Structure 1
Amino acid sequence: MEIVAVRIEEIDHTLCDRLSTYLSPDRRKMLRHFKFPEDQLRSLFSELLVRTYVIEKWGLSNDTVTFVKNKFGKPALAGFPQVQFNLSHSGHWVVAAFDELPVGIDIEEIVPIDLAITDYCFTRLEKTQLDVQPGEKTLEHFYKVWTLKESYIKAVGRGLSIPPQSFSIVYVDDRIRLQTSTDKENWCFHQYEIDDRYALSVCARHSMFPEQLHMISSNDLAFRFKNLV
């Protein structure tokens, strides 16, 4: 498994326009519909990150990289079922997890939120663990659990067909445990400290998580991709 985090920096708009010509038609269409430049950059570098990885690791040419989605919207690489990946972005970060088995990743910026939302997305057990957190840790704990739940939903690849209250993810003796009666697979979880203002969680079918993330800047990623195409 490899986990890569891209820090979004200021980048020349002309270069962004040129890089976008190497993306899939769906991604180019998506970029045109974003109102804010920061949303365009996150979307642009999400696909550039995957393309750079599969070109470098699997020796593909950019022209042969084709993305497909299952009926729930989870992306995959056409013709290469052995390449499993998942993406997430928030704020200044784009992150991706790559593996040979299904994997999910989620990152969220820790911003104030009305915790009444837990009435709709947390189970009673999850809310109990949240309620016993010290006041200054409550928001951080919410985002840690939320990204764990999102990473699981994304790893399974069934989207919103999995209600967030149909399973619990809780901490037991500092270990992360999934509790569900509808999934018999062995899912494992890991969390990384990427930035003190973000929560980042990964879900996989095994526990062989890398000790550290591989972190690069958006300018470095752009340079690497340009040298590949």
Structure 2
Amino acid sequence: MATVLLVDITRLTAADVDQLARQASPERRERAARFRFEADRLRCLVAGALLAHALVRTHRLRPDDYTITRNRYGKPLLQDRPGVEFNLSHAGSWVVCATGTDPVGVDVEALANARPHLADGMFAPDERDYVLGGPAAEASLRFTRVWTLKEAYTKYLGRGLSEPLDRFSVLTGDGLVPAGEGVPAPSLHWRTVDDAAGIVAWCGTAAAGWELLSVESAELVAGLG
């Protein structure tokens, strides 16, 4: 079973944020401090806490049990931990983390940030028609659905920006390839969140299925003890 965990940062209190900062590693605090805006610093802190929570919850791994490194394209991964995969994303009010035993990719986006006109020239022809040829009232939802699925797929592959977005279709599956030799074909999934204010999408093999779960602030700040 592959798992996608979601946190709504608007539910965190000032005390919760202070606790997360105290629990964060020095590296995570330093990384968060580089952001100019408070919201970005908070999402960074929550991402670190959610990853730690997810790895304990799904793989029984505590922070002292692993080292985070990156592949040559920049995708974060666990060093010397085959069979333990993760991916993070954050936008708007949400932070998400996907974990599994095979490569995974996840993305979350707010519909308020949708730019449907970008579908022309960036998406595959069928995706462009789906976004721009449908009802105008649905353009933001349709664009965000395609965009998050594409982001999730490229993050699943772990090849950075080397994969042209118009060379594959997340609607038909044309052009989708496994993340590596011997890895089953990927599957794509998406859900709206907060009454369709945003969309979370994820990609992986997940032969045993997927689950999307919300993590309450109390669970996140409870620590790993």
Residue 66 of structure 1: how far off its partner (Å): 1.3
Is the Cα contact below 8 Å between 2:116 and 2:132 reproduced in 1?
Answer: no
Residue 18 of structure 1: how far off its partner (Å): 0.9
Q: Aligned in 2, Cα 1:207/1:198: closer, same or farther, shift over 3 Å?
A: farther
1:192-223 CA deviation, whole Å, 9 max, x = no partner?
Answer: 2322100111111245433x521122343011
Residue 7 of structure 1: how far off its partner (Å): 1.4
Is the Cα contact below 8 Å between 2:115 and 2:143 reproduced in 1?
Answer: no
Matches of 2:48 and 2:37, distance apart in 1? 18
Q: Aligned in 2, Cα 1:24/1:68: closer, same or farther, shift over 3 Å?
A: farther
User: What is the match of residue 95 of structure 1?
Assistant: 96
Is the Cα contact below 8 Å between 2:66 and 2:81 reproduced in 1?
Answer: no
In the alignment, structure 2 segments of 5+ residues that lack a partner are 179-183
Amino acid at match of 2:51: V
Matches of 1:217 and 1:103, distance apart in 2? 23
Is the Cα contact below 8 Å between 2:114 and 2:143 reproduced in 1?
Answer: no
Is the Cα contact below 8 Å between 1:123 and 1:167 reproduced in 2?
Answer: yes
The answer to whether the aligner puts 1:183 opposite 2:177 as a matched pair is yes
Q: Aligned in 2, Cα 1:118/1:132: closer, same or farther, shift over 3 Å?
A: closer
Please report the RMSD computed on the Cα atoms of aligned residues, expressed in angstroms: 2.0
Please list every run of at least 4 consecutive aligned residues from structure 1 whose deviation after the TM superposition is greater than 4 angstroms: none
Is the Cα contact below 8 Å between 1:45 and 1:218 reproduced in 2?
Answer: no
Amino acid at match of 1:37: E
User: What is the match of residue 202 of structure 1?
Assistant: 202
Instruction: Give the TM-score, by structure 1 length.
Output: 0.85
Amino acid at match of 1:178: G
User: What is the match of residue 40 of structure 1?
Assistant: 41
User: What is the match of residue 118 of structure 1?
Assistant: 119
User: What is the match of residue 157 of structure 1?
Assistant: 158
Instruction: Give the TM-score, by structure 2 length.
Output: 0.86
Q: Aligned in 2, Cα 1:215/1:113: closer, same or farther, shift over 3 Å?
A: closer
Matches of 2:207 and 2:78, distance apart in 1? 23
Q: Aligned in 2, Cα 1:130/1:101: closer, same or farther, shift over 3 Å?
A: same
User: What is the match of residue 221 of structure 1?
Assistant: 220
Residue 115 of structure 1: how far off its partner (Å): 2.7
User: What is the match of residue 173 of structure 1?
Assistant: none
Matches of 2:114 and 2:63, distance apart in 1? 41
Counting aligned pairs with the same residue, the percent is 30
Is the Cα contact below 8 Å between 2:116 and 2:139 reproduced in 1?
Answer: no
In the alignment, structure 1 segments of 5+ residues that lack a partner are 171-176
Residue 36 of structure 1: how far off its partner (Å): 1.4
Residue 56 of structure 1: how far off its partner (Å): 4.1
User: What is the match of residue 181 of structure 2?
Assistant: none
1:164-191 CA deviation, whole Å, 9 max, x = no partner?
Answer: 1121121xxxxxx3211x7366111111
Is the Cα contact below 8 Å between 1:84 and 1:98 reproduced in 2?
Answer: yes
